[in-house]
Chains A and B, each alone.
Chain A
Amino acid sequence: MSARRLRRRLVSGTMTALVAVLSLVAVLALMLILGHLVAKGASSLDWSFFVKNPVPAGQSGGGVANAIVGTLIIVGSAALIGLPIGIGTGLYLAEYGSGRLGWIVRFVADVLNGTPSIVVGIFAWTWLVKPMGHFSALAGSVALAVLMVPMLARTTEEMVRLVPHSLREAALALGYPRWRTSLRVIARTALAGIVTGCLVGIARVAGETAPLLFTALGNLNFSTSVLQPMQTLSLQIYVYATGPFDEWQRLAWAAALVLMGLVLLLSLTARWAIRQRHGAAR
């Protein structure tokens, strides 16, 4: 074997080993987090954890039912506000966004995408909490929706752009008006991708804490009124984990595990949606 070939093989082998080790480190971090969460939190997961509300500090028992319901309501409302705006913006960018306005919208979306979530929280406080005079779940939802919109817009745009131009022409040649082509053919073809983008977006904001600190605030009691302060899992974790009681820390671990589980479930659903899409394209 020539020296040159030997050298090539050596370099190749070293590089392969290097990237393998690096990916192992990446996976290991995730595994450690998951493992630690399960180890610390799983023992506290019982029926009452899911169905009971928190009890006053010092007492044992109690659960985070209010936080679970609160997370679902706040994230759900955020999705309700954010999805139509985000998807609509994405469709606009992909279909009509070649001009100046499209460029501006795209630029703003990219800037918003990189905005720290706590900044968005401050703005939600300024625009909603302050004028309303009190903290509310709605303000939290709006903050999360603002975080979601640019993400969704860009994902939707990418997915719509993946639809071949020939399909658009085929629909137009059949006598479809342009808006109908966009909705019935283009958006429907890109649907699986858009759904995936939505789920990823929802999963990302479900774990947000900072923008909720001065909007939804948190609530020790069970509340379903979106105009009142509301508890979420992330806020609960923040309070419990930084609190002085062992009982709280125990509950914080369990709440973290549940939150992680929720996000994981959404991600898995997203994966499944992607597989459906590739299945359809075959």
Chain B
Amino acid sequence: MAPPADARLQLETVRLTALYGRRAAVKDVSLMFPRHTVTALIGPSGCGKTTFLRCLNRMHELSEGGWITGRVLLDGEDIYDPSVDAIRLRRRIGMVFQRPTPFPTMSIYDNVAAGLRVNGGRPRAEVDAAVEGALRRAALWDEVKDRLRHSALALSGGQQQRLCVARALAPEPDVLLLDEPTASLDPAGTQRIEELCHELKTRYTICIVTHNLQQAARVSDYTAFFYLGDLIEIGRTEELFTKPTQEHTEAYITGRFG
């Protein structure tokens, strides 16, 4: 019997360990994501933060040899329960990757509509409205509204990444996972995405992996520091950056390693 879900808690991992074959990339991590907040995952390369993120929408299990122990609760419900359909689950949790991944054969419109149509036929007007809504929320509508039928590849890198955000938002997910979304963008594109995080957290619970500590400080409410697969510290962002409790965290954010 699951305890009643805390209305303020959207997502929670309980003693989550993620493995590739017999090698654990994430070890025994328990972490809570309050509703409509931004949580940043930081840490040096290879610390397991991307693997952790990929456990939250069950993408990790698609990797070669990927499996987990522990639990991941979305609104109190274990997403790894055998009764949960991973494909349906992924429609409730949007994801944006390091590099923009627009579908090259589809138009801008079709890219955004892709996640809606996979659910089966919907009235045209409904799809139109959802596409426009998603593009507006991704702050891309004004730039593309006159060329929705053009190839998505004609957009700049920053626009493509916002298109991917729009594509992730169109199916109305509860959670948005961002895996270093600005890693391949210029400063202007980075700024747009960061502004988006602020706007989007009024509707979505966001988890962002980033290498950029300033970015974590700018966009997040909570920051989690990972090192060698362990969760070293989690706290309110301003506290973690100003008075970290762990020596490792302090060393990392002051640039002494990693």
Contacts and interface: CB of A to CB of B under 8 A. Distances in A.
| A, B: real partners | yes
Interface string A268-282: 000000000000111
A177 B87 contact: yes
B116 to A, nearest CB: 9
Interface string B154-177: 000000000010011001000000
B103 A167 contact: yes
Which of A164, A169, A174, A185 has the largest count of B CB atoms less than 10 A from its CB? A174
A174 B104 contact: no
Contact of B87 (A164, A166, A175): A175
Contacts of B151: 280
Interface string B97-122: 10101011100000000110011000
B207 to A, nearest CB: 13
B103 A173 contact: no
Q: Chain B interface: which size bin?
A: 20 to 34
Interface string B191-208: 000000000000000000
B208 to A, nearest CB: 15
Interface in A169-220: 169-177, 180, 185, 188-189, 191
B245 to A, nearest CB: 34
A28 to B, nearest CB: 40
A282 B103 contact: no
B57 interface: yes
Contacts of A188: 103, 105
B153 interface: yes
Interface residues of A, number: 20
Contacts of B144: none
A282 B153 contact: yes
B153 to A, nearest CB: 7
Interface string B44-61: 000000000000010100
Contacts, number: 66
Nearest to B95: A173
Interface in B60-97: 62, 87-91, 94-95, 97
Contact of B91 (A175, A180, A185, A281): A175
A56 B181 CA distance: 76
Contacts of A164: 101
A176 B171 CA distance: 12
Contacts of A175: 87-91, 115, 118-119, 171
Contact of B153 (A167, A173, A280): A280
B114 to A, nearest CB: 6
Interface string B177-191: 000000000000000
Contacts of B94: 173-174
Interface in A116-157: none
Contact of B104 (A172, A173, A177, A189): A189
A169 B97 contact: yes
B134 to A, nearest CB: 12
Given A172-B59, A175-B88, A280-B151, A166 B115 contact: no
Nearest to B92: A175
Contact of B103 (A169, A189, A281): A189
Given A173-B57, A174-B114, A175-B115, 18 more contacts: A164-B101, A166-B99, A169-B62, A170-B164, A171-B114, A173-B90, A173-B95, A174-B91, A174-B118, A174-B171, A175-B87, A175-B88, A188-B103, A188-B105, A189-B105, A280-B104, A280-B153, A282-B153
